[in-house]
């Protein structure tokens, strides 16, 4: 380990979709992401991480990938202000799981990621909280045309489209402008729920990665039950992307990709007509070149 660096820890963005909400597993009543020391007694990092996540969630993780190694000097302001402390290093991972009660250490709990980033949910309309945020950013943008251009691009202003894949860039702009910081010291509901250290930045990194990933890799099936309706599948993709999808286009794309098959059963209609149940086709997924398989986000 280089001089001045602390022992590495693992930190996980564990995502589930429950009742059409993208939810993340947290500790300390929603203030922190699950994290723990890097252990070397497993055959591989992946094996050790999977075991650690299962101990945290009480449920085996499905899809798992490394996000990023976070090692900025001021990522934990409390330690930075004390001086003389080694720089913390966190190896971030994105995992997809099914939400359930987990009696692990620190009383894990699940929260919608839109509690932390309320301006990212555009499923029903442009979020009201954006108006207050943009008003503050207008003052910050007076110091330069480039700032104005960045705001317009990142927040879909002046004819530019909203790009759901820019979650991290939007949060980092708020940090740069002084509206938010990695310690999230401000109690401002317009800026979302705070988290400790740079955990909200790590969460934004996970959201950005997953929103991009579902467009070219069928990872969304890791979040689905064994059988599901097409509407359930669409609502899951919408929850992750924060957008409403064009129903006929979505179903046509799913059909063209031949990723799912009918189970021969019908859903138990709860307030509506029963619908056909589907399941994903593991043999098809294994045979396809996954980088060429897309579940596109088609807007209205």
pLDDT tens sequence across 95-152: 998 887 655 555 688 999 999 999 999 999 999 999 989 999 999 999 789 999 999 9
Pair 98, 165 in one domain:
no
Secondary structure of residue 275 in the 3-state scheme: coil
Helix (H) or strand (E) holding 155: helix 145-155
Question: What share of residues in the chain are helix, strand, coil (percent, to 5)?
Answer: 40, 20, 40
Q: Is the pLDDT of residue 291 over 60?
A: no
Mean pLDDT in residue range 29-56: 75
Q: What is the mean pLDDT of the chain?
A: 82
pTM: 0.86
Q: How far apart are CA 269 and CA 103, in angstroms?
A: 33
Q: Is the pLDDT of residue 275 over 70?
A: yes
pLDDT the model gives residue 83: 52
Pair 133, 98 in one domain:
no
pLDDT the model gives residue 90: 81
pLDDT the model gives residue 18: 94
Residue 213 lies inside a defined structural domain of this protein: no
Residue 205 lies inside a defined structural domain of this protein: no
Pair 110, 123 in one domain:
no
Pair 12, 91 in one domain:
yes
Among 82, 99, 114, where does a domain finish? 114
Q: Is the pLDDT of residue 1 over 50?
A: no
Pair 186, 274 in one domain:
no
Residue 158 lies inside a defined structural domain of this protein: yes
Residue 299 lies inside a defined structural domain of this protein: no
Pair 100, 132 in one domain:
no
Helix (H) or strand (E) holding 56: helix 45-57
pLDDT the model gives residue 80: 47
Higher confidence at residue 166 or residue 76? Answer: 166
Pair 89, 105 in one domain:
yes
pLDDT tens sequence across 47-61: 777 777 777 666 678
Pair 86, 144 in one domain:
no
32-36, 47-51, 164-168, 257-261: least confident range: 47-51
Among 71, 90, 114, where does a domain finish? 114
The range of the structural domain enclosing residue 181 comes to: 119-192
Among 84, 114, 144, where does a domain finish? 114
Tally helices (H) and strands (E) across the chain: 9, 8
Mean pLDDT in residue range 81-93: 67
Q: Are 220 and 282 in contact (CB under 8 A)?
A: no
Q: Is the pLDDT of residue 81 over 50?
A: no
Mean pLDDT in residue range 11-22: 94
Residue 52 makes CB contacts below 8 A (sequence gap 6+) with 10, 36, 39
pLDDT the model gives residue 97: 87
Tally of domains in the chain: 3
User: pLDDT band at 171, cuts 50/70/90?
Assistant: very high
Pair 58, 93 in one domain:
yes
pLDDT tens sequence across 177-232: 988 765 555 556 678 898 988 899 999 999 999 999 998 888 898 899 989 999 99
CATH of the domain at 255: 1.10.10.10
Q: Which is it for strands 87-96 and 64-70: parallel, antiparallel or unpaired?
A: antiparallel
Q: How far apart are CA 130 and CA 136, in angstroms?
A: 10
pLDDT the model gives residue 161: 94
Q: What is the CA radius of gyration of the chain?
A: 20
Residue 20 lies inside a defined structural domain of this protein: yes
Pair 130, 70 in one domain:
no
Residue 202 lies inside a defined structural domain of this protein: no
pLDDT tens sequence across 260-271: 999 999 988 656
pLDDT the model gives residue 289: 43
CATH of the domain at 52: 3.90.79.10
Residue 64 makes CB contacts below 8 A (sequence gap 6+) with 46, 49, 50, 53, 93, 94, 95, 96
Cα 256 from chain centroid (whole Å): 27
């Amino acid at each position: 380990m280089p001089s001045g660096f602390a022992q590495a820890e693992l930190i996980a963005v564990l995502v589930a979709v429950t009742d059409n909400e993208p939810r993340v597993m947290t500790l300390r009543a929603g203030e922190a992401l699950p994290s723990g020391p890097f252990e070397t007694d497993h055959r591989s990092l992946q094996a050790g991480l999977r075991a650690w996540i299962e101990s945290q969630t009480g449920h085996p993780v499905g899809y798992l990938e490394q996000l990023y190694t976070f090692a900025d000097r001021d990522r934990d302001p409390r330690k930075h202000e004390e001086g003389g402390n080694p720089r913390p290093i966190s190896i971030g991972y994105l995992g997809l799981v099914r939400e359930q009660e987990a009696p692990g250490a620190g009383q894990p709990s699940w929260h919608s990621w839109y509690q932390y980033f309320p301006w990212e949910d555009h499923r029903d309309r442009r979020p009201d909280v954006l108006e207050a945020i943009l008003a503050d950013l207008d003052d910050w943008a007076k110091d330069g045309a480039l700032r104005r251009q960045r705001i317009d691009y990142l927040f879909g202003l002046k004819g530019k489209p909203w790009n759901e894949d820019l979650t991290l860039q939007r949060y980092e702009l708020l940090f740069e402008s002084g509206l938010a910081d990695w310690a999230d010291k401000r109690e401002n509901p317009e800026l979302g729920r705070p988290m400790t250290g740079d955990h909200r930045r790590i969460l934004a990194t996970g959201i950005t990665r997953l929103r991009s990933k579902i467009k070219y890799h069928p990872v969304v099936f890791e979040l689905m039950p064994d059988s599901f309706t097409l509407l359930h599948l669409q609502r899951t993709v919408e929850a992750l992307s924060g957008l409403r999808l064009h129903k006929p286009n979505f179903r046509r794309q799913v059909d063209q990709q031949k990723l799912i098959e009918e189970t021969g059963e019908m859903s138990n209609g709860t307030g509506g007509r029963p619908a056909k149940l589907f399941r994903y086709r593991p043999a098809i997924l294994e045979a396809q070149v996954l980088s060429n398989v897309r579940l596109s986000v088609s807007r209205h």
